[in-house]
Amino acid sequence: MVERTTLSFIGQEIYCGFDVHKNLWSVCVRHCGRELACYSMPANAREVGRKLRKDYPDASIHSVYEAGFSGFEAHRILVDEFGIHNIVVNPADVPTNGKERVHKSDRIDCRKLAKSLEAGLLEPIYVPSREHLLLRNLLRRETQTSGAIVRTINQLKSHWYFNGEPIPHRAGKTVLGSRREQARARGDYVAVNLIDQWHSLTESRQRIVKCEHETIAKLSLTKEIKHVASAPGIGMRSAIVLLSELWDMHRFPDKNHLASYVGLAPHLVGSGDKEETVSGGNRKQKQLHYILIQAAWRASRSDPQMISLFGRLRLRHLASQRIVCIIAKKILFIIRALLLEDRDYQAIFPNREITCKQTKATRNETPPENGR
């Protein structure tokens, strides 16, 4: 009889749930339907992966943690460096009972994750690549900066209104420059500070936009952006935002998953004899939803095909808002086809300019009536 002297978990599966925090990770380990360990470790993915590989050598380790502030770097470390089959899940999709809601703690959360992973109840979310995050983070930072600029202008107008000063129709660089000198002369340093803050934020946004163009050139995305911008109602700026968020159309299994991600997929809600169709709700990519709705309004006034679709739906007595949502969904599917097929948008009935010579030639070629 051969005595085994080395520990091995070949052919066995280990399931781990991580409750991720800034300083500590709570780890729960399960095996064959039983909990083996539940402990806390420093918030270091390499230390966690190293300990799991040391405790359970040769095992097929599956792990999960919730998406949040920690990002996806821990996922890449666990997968690439330690060969752990890790997934990241939406916290709202983790099954939770009433007792777990009342008695909430880090140990309960990691146990819940490990148990749900072992039972196969968790659906992973898409993990963006580092290149994807480079562009997406820049676009989101610009959105935050633009919001800060709007808030600063609103605070400045509120300050002027409170002090009984006239509010200009447009608060541009020239107007704010003269207002700053006037405020400084009378000692209104609050207005001076707000105007300086506006200048600083505006310059910061310009630098971010410059970095965006450099990143687009570095990642060779000019052709893809051109494809998206050719869709009805989509401008160059909207095309950059759409591509930075959608990135790879192959990550959506079909059109319905894409529409659900953007929030353009109504669903049926019912109980008993009562059923109704409701919108996607708050679970959507809000920025993409807003951009596509605005693009649909523009396309319904400029693109012949969308104008025709708007008229046909209007004859069915649908509300304008409902029609715009349908057009937005159609534009989204057009963008999907353009990226998958690597081409520009081509209208079914392209507009052709008819010159005077063409009109005259056509008139001469028209056969006379009754053969005369």
- Closest by alpha carbon to 64, among 134, 130, 137, 127? 127
The model's pLDDT over 184-209, given as tens digits with 9 standing for 90+, comes to: 999 999 999 999 999 999 999 999 99
Query: What per-residue confidence (pLDDT) applies to 367?
Result: 43
pTM for the structure as a whole:
0.82
Residue 88 three-state SS: strand
The whole-chain average pLDDT of the chain stands at 89
Residue located via tokens 């990002």: 71
The model's pLDDT over 352-361, given as tens digits with 9 standing for 90+, comes to: 444 444 434 4
Give the mean model confidence (pLDDT) for residues 149-177: 91
The model's pLDDT over 254-264, given as tens digits with 9 standing for 90+, comes to: 999 999 999 99
Q: In the chain, what percentage of residues exceed pLDDT 70?
A: 89
280/96: higher pLDDT: 96
Query: What per-residue confidence (pLDDT) applies to 348?
Result: 65
**Dist CA 191 CA 20 (whole Å):** 43
Query: What per-residue confidence (pLDDT) applies to 349?
Result: 56
Confidence band of 32 (pLDDT split at 50, 70, 90): very high
Integer angstrom CA distances of residue 79 from 116, 206, 256? 20, 38, 29
What secondary structure does DSSP assign to 190-213, as a single string? HHHHHHHHHHHHHHHHHHHHHHHH
Biggest alpha carbon–alpha carbon distance for the chain: 112
**Dist CA 119 CA 96 (whole Å):** 14
Does residue 320 have a pLDDT over 80? yes
CATH architecture of 13-119: 2-Layer Sandwich (3.30)
The model's pLDDT over 113-129, given as tens digits with 9 standing for 90+, comes to: 999 999 999 999 999 99
Query: What per-residue confidence (pLDDT) applies to 363?
Result: 42
> Are the CB atoms for 277 and 268 separated by under 8 Å?
yes
